[in-house]
Amino acid sequence: MSVTITVGGIDNVLANFENMKQHGVQTKALKAGAAVFKEAIEAAAPEATTYHDGSNALPVGALKSDVEIHTSKKAPFVSVGFGHYTKHVARWLEFGFRHHKVVNGKNVKNVRRAVNDTDTLVQHPFFRQAVMSTENAAVTAIEAQLTADLVKASKGEKITE
């Protein structure tokens, strides 16, 4: 006894595989996942409540509006993070910081003080929590985008970025 199974469409997919590579199908799918992360990070980012003229603090809403998606032209690689203007503040919030200076190669406490006259800023992790809580949704978005492009390729349709 034998069973014969015929699968159709594979030849079309293989024939269009080079077309899929040229049009950045992998990067396109990764961007779909990155968009999910970006939305979650923007929602979780803390926001300043006040801003005073002459202050060196970030303006209200600056952290939330500076989340960026970056891609690489050399490889299918996508990253989500903060822009040049706010990335240092996001790092301080995520990991905390301690004022210090280096004297003769050794760290010493600085005379400056951080918030509330202490020498540390306690971490307020939001980035890692946002990414970890939306990991499954991002994977689902990547899978959906790849599936849609594979279906297009199997039908011989043109895939666009």
Q: How far is CA 149 from the centre of its chain?
A: 22
Mean pLDDT of 38-42: 95
In one letter, which amino acid is 66?
D
* Per-residue model confidence (pLDDT) at position 101: 60
Mean pLDDT of 121-150: 88
User: Tens digits of per-residue pLDDT, 47-99?
Assistant: 877 776 776 778 888 889 999 999 888 878 889 999 998 998 888 888 877 65
What is the rounded CA–CA span in Å between residue 114 and residue 63?
20
Q: Which residue's entry shows tokens 């590579």?
A: 21
List all residues 6 or more positions away from 129 whose beta carbon is below 8 Å from its beta carbon: 44
For the whole prediction, is pTM greater than 0.75? no
Domain residue spans of the chain: 10-46+58-154
